[in-house]
Amino acid sequence: MIQEKVVSYVREACQAPGNALGPSFYDQHLLVVAGLADRLAGMLGADKEVVSLASYLHDISAVLDIQTLPEHHVVSAAIAGTFLEENRVEGPKIERVRQCILKHTAPLAPGAGSPEETSLSHADALSFILQPPYWFYFAFVVRKMTFRDGHDWFFQRVQSNWNALCPEARRLGEEGHARCFELLSRPSAILQFS
């Protein structure tokens, strides 16, 4: 029941005209993170419900107000806590969801977080690598970067995320990373159709 309420709430927020991240943020990022996090939760022995709730809510503040982006993990954790509390989710589960959201902005090092926190942080990083079209949109349309600045920002983010991923996340993203890295490191490769 709570899962459906969270999904509906987040999907509606993503479709709202005020969402500067665009309506595609839902299917190009949040659904991807939720799918990857679910798979990682299975591999890491995490509570799949906690991971799923956190996956859908981890960026909610940026969806509601792009100005919160620098601190979106803190604001999103607070919004998620309030939403789950209003929907009568038990306190310990709310706190576990909040902690996942607070720690999602970079892949957690081994032992630096719970299996739930690790699942979300690595899924979020991996989704960045696997969804370059959305992140180019983010760089060039949302953040209004120049081509070179956007390319360099994305390339650096892909490499830092990849280098920090746990072995389980790397297995899930190996092919996607290789394709993404080739395109980013050799931009002329996109012109070679052989």
User: Are 176 and 129 a contacting pair, CB within 8 Å?
Assistant: yes
**DSSP one-letter code for 107:** P
189 pLDDT above the threshold of 50:
no
Element (H, E) at 32: helix 31-44
Q: From the CA atom positions of the chain, what is the Rg in Å?
A: 17
126 pLDDT above the threshold of 90:
yes
CA distances from 1 to 15, 84, 89 (A): 22, 12, 10
pLDDT class for 183, splitting at 50, 70, 90? confident
Q: What is the pLDDT of residue 182?
A: 84
Residue 13 burial class via C-beta count within 10 angstroms: exposed 0-12, middle 13-18, buried 19 and up: buried
In angstroms, the CA 186 to CA 194 distance is: 15
Count CB-CB contacts under 10 A for residue 32.
20
In angstroms, the CA 126 to CA 37 distance is: 10
Burial 97-108 (b: 16+ CB within 10 A, else e): bbbbbbbbeebb
Q: What is the pLDDT of residue 187?
A: 56
Percent above pLDDT 70 for the chain: 95
When pLDDT is averaged across residues 122-136 and rounded to a whole number, the result is 96
User: Are 123 and 33 a contacting pair, CB within 8 Å?
Assistant: yes
Q: What is the pLDDT of residue 191?
A: 46
Domains and CATH numbers, the chain: 2-191 (1.10.3210.10)
